[in-house]
Amino acid sequence: MPRIKLYIATSLDGFIARENGSIDWLTKYENNPETDYGYSEFYASIGKVLMGRKTYEQALEFGEWTYREKKSYVFTRQKEPTRRENNVEFVSEDIGEFVRQLKRNTEEDIWLVGGSQIIKVFFEENLVQDLILFVVPIILGSGIPLFDHIGKEIGFRTERVERYENGLVKLEYEVK
């Protein structure tokens, strides 16, 4: 059975973006000549990509569609997206039901990209099996939280910890 993996970066104080959605504080960690932080290996291991509409629209601002080789599903309550990329399907039905069906019909692991509102639903519905978290050594003070009032306690088992020279720390957890 495929696993759903939340693979995401967060500030020390638990924010995944500034209040306006900006992730400018991550740019100094991109295109590191020494490492890609395991991204290539991770990306090769997944077959599908899941995200919310706001995350989709932000990803479009980066230029070329980053996930073009993977089937992507964007969860939205809106009827028409601002721009539709190839290999992207928009989903407005019940998230839990859709994802459970998707897992039954896929063999490769699934990447939950974000954002905060979708992450909340996935944890409420017990859909995430693995958390791969990159902690960036910065305090933003405010922004979009990684975990926004999930409303229940969730335990994790630490699988791996990796420290990079630039201060970034990669934490890998399995949901108990």
> How do the domains of the chain map onto residue ranges?
4-175
**17-27 pLDDT per residue, tens:** 999 999 999 98
pLDDT of residue 57: 87
Is 4-175 assigned to CATH 3.40.430.10?
A: yes
Phi, psi (degrees; rounded to nearest 5) at 7: -120, 110
Phi, psi (degrees; rounded to nearest 5) at 167: 100, -15
**89-140 pLDDT per residue, tens:** 999 999 999 999 999 999 999 999 999 999 999 999 999 999 999 999 999 9
What pTM, to 2 d.p., does this model score? 0.93
d(CA 49, CA 113) in angstroms, rounded, equals 7
